[in-house]
Amino acid sequence: MIDELREELRHRVSEPRRWAGSLRRLTFARAVQASNSIEGYNATLDDVVAAVDGDDVLDASAETASAVSGYRDAMTYVLQHAHDETAKVDEGLLKALHFMMIKHDLAKNPGRWRPGAIWVRREPEGAIVYEGPPSDEIPALIVEMIRELERSDAPVLFRAAVAHLNLVMIHPFSDGNGRMARALQTLVLAREQIVAPVFSSIEEYLGRNTQAYYDVLAQVGEGAWHPENDARPWVRFCLTAHYRQGRTHLRRVQEVEELWLASVALAERHRLPERAAAGLMDAAYGLRVRNARYRASVDFSSGEEISELTATRDLKAMVEAGLLTAVGERRGRFYVASDPLLQARQRIRAERPTKELADPFTRASEQLSLEI
């Protein structure tokens, strides 16, 4: 069932469509946002998209902005690494990714195995819920984890899930172990190239279901390093996440396509250049459109590079057309959606309501019973 979803998604996003670049950008931002939120670094989608674009964030704290930017750098490298067919997962790659994520806080030993014992505590009471293996065992455990990953002939969804589980249970770093495990899972999936790598991640699902994520790790780990334990509850959880995230991606593909067409129609009606649709769509999604963001959106959607002056003229024209509203002055100015855009987004979402998806294992069992 997951393979069917991924194949359908591959066909929908692989064709050259103007909206596909914006969809990939938002999907990447949501993954970065979700993985950091699990660790308590909460940023708005608007701020994460700004970080992805290399722009200044407006609302997040300095610490959160650093965490988001670090994870953006690591995940960008993961997606680039996935295109190298000769590249391997090794200790150097794991340490490099960790350094990218945590480099803003040298006290957390970025790029190094932890020097001593580590415990995971449950807030707010501070109870210890997990104790990692001794630090002197880390190098050998990492070598064995990589050996199992590279030699296994199991389907990629299983290999990726078990790599995530092993890394988070070894807990080799002083901080950032969860983010590293999720990044590793995305890397293993992305190397398959079944679908655009950014659509392989389940980090957004994990961010929406954080307690269930913690619960299944606690069930499998039982508070300490227990590699003899049954990993099937974890694998089942990950497969469910892939199925549900795949369904979410397909729904968004349809929504983004319709919203793009609506934005193009509004641009044509008000005699705006077609590239304005990229900025209109960002605004419709609730993002604050700044000059730099608009230029990035145009580049993502069409590969067209426009000047700061051209972007300023386009944005002014969209305000005069009643599609955007300007907020602030001069360098701090940004633009938000006006009623026509908001109404278009609301109409499209109402036509395709989000449904709570049934357990895919139950559905698969029912289908199997019918076939038998």
The answer to whether residues 266 and 211 belong to one domain is no
CA angle 240/24/56 to nearest 5° reads: 115
Tell me, yes or no, whether 275 lies in a domain: yes
* pLDDT at residue 203 tops 90: yes
Across 275-289, average pLDDT? 93
In a domain, 8, yes or no: no
Q: Please count the residues of the chain.
A: 372
Q: Give the structural domain span for 88.
A: 17-249
* Identity of the residue numbered 335: Y
Does some domain include residue 344? Answer: yes
Whole-number average pLDDT of the chain: 90
Residue 175 has, within 13 A of its CA and on its CB side, a CA count of 16
Q: How confident is the model at residue 357 (pLDDT cuts 50, 70, 90)?
A: low
d(CA 352, CA 341): 17
The binding site for ATP consists of: 175-182, 213-214
Distance, CA of 38 to CA of 136 (rounded, Å): 28
Most confident of 76-90, 111-125, 267-281: 267-281
Please calculate the CA angle 184-188-194 and round it to the nearest 5 degrees. 140
pTM more than 0.75: yes
pLDDT score of 311: 95
Catalytic: 98?
A: no
Which CATH number goes with the domain that contains 154? 1.10.3290.10
Please enumerate in sequence order all residues whose Cβ is within 8 A of that of 312, keeping only pairs 6 or more positions apart, or say none. 291
What's the DSSP call for residue 181? H
Over residues 232-256, mean pLDDT? 93
Whether 179 and 56 map to the same domain: the answer is yes
Asked if 150 and 290 sit in the same domain, the reply is: no
Identify whether 367 is part of a domain. no
**Same-domain check for residues 114 and 209:** yes
What confidence score (pLDDT) does residue 349 get?
85
Is pLDDT of 368 > 90? Answer: no
Question: What pLDDT shows up at residue 58?
Answer: 79
Whether 234 and 278 share a structural domain = no
Distance CA 313, CA 219 (A): 57
Instruction: Give the end of a domain, one of 191, 218, 249.
Output: 249
Cβ–Cβ under 8 Å, residues 167 and 180 = yes
Output the domain CATH number for residue 289: 1.10.10.10
Domain count, the chain: 2
Does residue 148 share a domain with residue 207?
Answer: yes
Position 363 scores a pLDDT of: 80
Q: What is the pLDDT of residues 127-172, one digit of tens each?
A: 788 999 999 999 999 999 999 998 999 999 999 999 999 999 999 9
Looking from the CA of 309 toward its CB, the CA atoms found within 13 Å total 0
The H-assigned helical ranges of 106-231 are: 138-151, 156-170, 177-190, 203-208, 210-221
Instruction: Kindly give the interhelix angle for 232-269 and 20-38, rounded to the nearest 10 degrees.
Output: 140
Structure confidence at residue 122 (pLDDT): 76
Domain end call among 221, 249, 277: 249
- pLDDT given at position 195: 62
**pLDDT score recorded for residue 219:** 94
Among residues 98, 171, 242, 249, the one annotated as catalytic is 171
Identity at 182, one-letter amino acid code = R
Please indicate, yes or no, if residue 265 is contained in any of the structural domains: yes
Is 366 a residue whose pLDDT tops 80? no
> Is there a domain that residue 363 lies in?
no
Do residues 282 and 293 make contact, with C-beta atoms less than 8 angstroms apart? Answer: yes
Q: Check whether 45 has a pLDDT greater than 70.
A: yes
User: 307 φ, ψ to 5°?
Assistant: -80, 165
Whether residue 97 is contained in a domain is answered as: yes
Confidence of residue 364 (pLDDT cuts 50, 70, 90): confident
222 plus 274 within the same structural domain: no
Q: Give 20's pLDDT tier (boundaries 50, 70, 90).
A: confident
Is 369 within the bounds of a domain? no
Give the confidence band of 356 by pLDDT, cuts at 50, 70, 90: low
Reduced to 3 states (helix: H, G, I; strand: E, B; else coil), residue 325 is strand
pLDDT digits (tens, 9 = 90+) for 303-353: 889 999 999 999 999 999 999 999 988 778 999 999 989 999 999 888 776
Q: Residues 216, 47: contact at Cβ < 8 Å?
A: no
**pLDDT over 70 percentage in the chain:** 96
Residue 99 sits in the same domain as residue 209 = yes
One domain, residues 222 and 302: no
Are residue 240 and residue 271 in the same domain, yes or no?
no
Beta pairing, strands 127-131 & 324-327:
unpaired
Same domain? For 225 and 306 the reply is no
Residue finishing a domain among 249, 278, 311: 249
Q: DSSP class of residue 289?
A: B
| 51-107 confidence digits (pLDDT tens) | 888 888 878 899 999 999 999 999 999 888 878 878 789 999 999 999 999 999 999
Same domain for 281 and 231:
no
Give the residue numbers of the binding site. Answer: 175-182, 213-214
